[in-house]
Amino acid sequence: MRLHAETALLYTLLAFLSLLTVTLNLLVIISISHFWQLHTPTNILLLSLAVSDLVVGLLAMPVEGLRYKETCWLLGRLMCALTPYLSYYLLSASLGNMVLISIDHYLAIFDPLLYSSKITLNRVKMPICSCWACSLLYNGLILMEHMALPDRFSSCRGECVGH
C-alpha cells in the first residue's frame, strides 16, 4: 500500500511540474507573440527558449519520468528509439538558446551605444535557426546507432535501455 502511495505522489509531482513548466512558458510565448512592443532581439531569444522549454515540459518530462519510474517500457519500440533523440534535441536547443541569450547580454553591456544598430530582429533570427538546426543534426548523428537498433541492450520484451 505504501509503494502505491509513493508512486501516486511521484506521478502527481511529475504531472504538476510538467504542467507548471508548460503553463509558465506558454504565458511567455503568448506575451511576446501578442504584444508587438515586446518584439525585441532579446525577447525573440527568450521566445525561442520558452518554445524549447514548453516542449520539454509537454513531452520530455512526462516521458522521461515514466521511463525512470516504470520497469517495463509501455510506449513501443518506435518511441523507445525517438525518446532519447527528442529529449536530447530539446535540451540541447534549450542550452543553445541560453548561450545565445548570454551572448546577447554580453553585447548589450560591452557596446550599449551600438547594440541596437548591430543587433536587429533579422540578425537574431539566423543564430536562433542555426541553434535549432545544429541541435537537430548533432543529436541525430550521436544517436543514429541507437535509433537504428533501439533495443540492443534490452534484456526483456518491453524494456527500453541504452540511452
The answer, yes or no, to whether residue 30 has pLDDT greater than 70, is yes
In-domain check, residue 124:
yes
In-domain check, residue 85:
yes
In-domain check, residue 50:
yes
Please report the pLDDT score of residue 156 as a whole number.
Answer: 47
In-domain check, residue 159:
no
108 Cβ contact list (under 8 Å, min separation 6): 42, 115, 119
Please report the pLDDT score of residue 83 as a whole number.
Answer: 83
Number of domains in the chain: 1
| pLDDT tens-digit map of 121-147 | 999 999 999 999 999 999 988 887 766
Report residue 155's pLDDT band, with 50, 70 and 90 as the boundaries. Answer: very low
The widest CA-to-CA distance across the chain, in whole angstroms, is 65
Q: Could you say which DSSP state residue 47 is in?
A: H
| pLDDT tens-digit map of 62-109 | 988 887 777 777 777 777 778 888 999 999 999 999 999 999 999 999
| pLDDT tens-digit map of 12-28 | 999 999 999 999 999 99
The torsion region of residue 154 among left (phi > 0), alpha (psi -120 to 50) and beta comes to beta
Evaluated on CA atoms 61, 144, 160, 162, the torsion sign reads negative
- Decide: 22 and 54 in contact? Cβ < 8 Å: yes
Helix (H) or strand (E) holding 114, with range, is helix 112-118
In-domain check, residue 18:
yes
Please report the pLDDT score of residue 162 as a whole number.
Answer: 56
The answer, yes or no, to whether residue 47 has pLDDT greater than 60, is yes
In-domain check, residue 156:
no
In-domain check, residue 65:
yes
The answer, yes or no, to whether residue 54 has pLDDT greater than 60, is yes
79 Cβ contact list (under 8 Å, min separation 6): 63, 73
In-domain check, residue 123:
yes
CA atoms within 13 A on the CB side of 34: 6
Q: Which residues span the domain enclosing 124?
A: 2-148
Please report the pLDDT score of residue 81 as a whole number.
Answer: 77
| pLDDT tens-digit map of 106-123 | 999 999 999 999 999 999
The answer, yes or no, to whether residue 33 has pLDDT greater than 60, is yes
Q: What is the CATH number of the domain that holds 27?
A: 1.20.1070.10
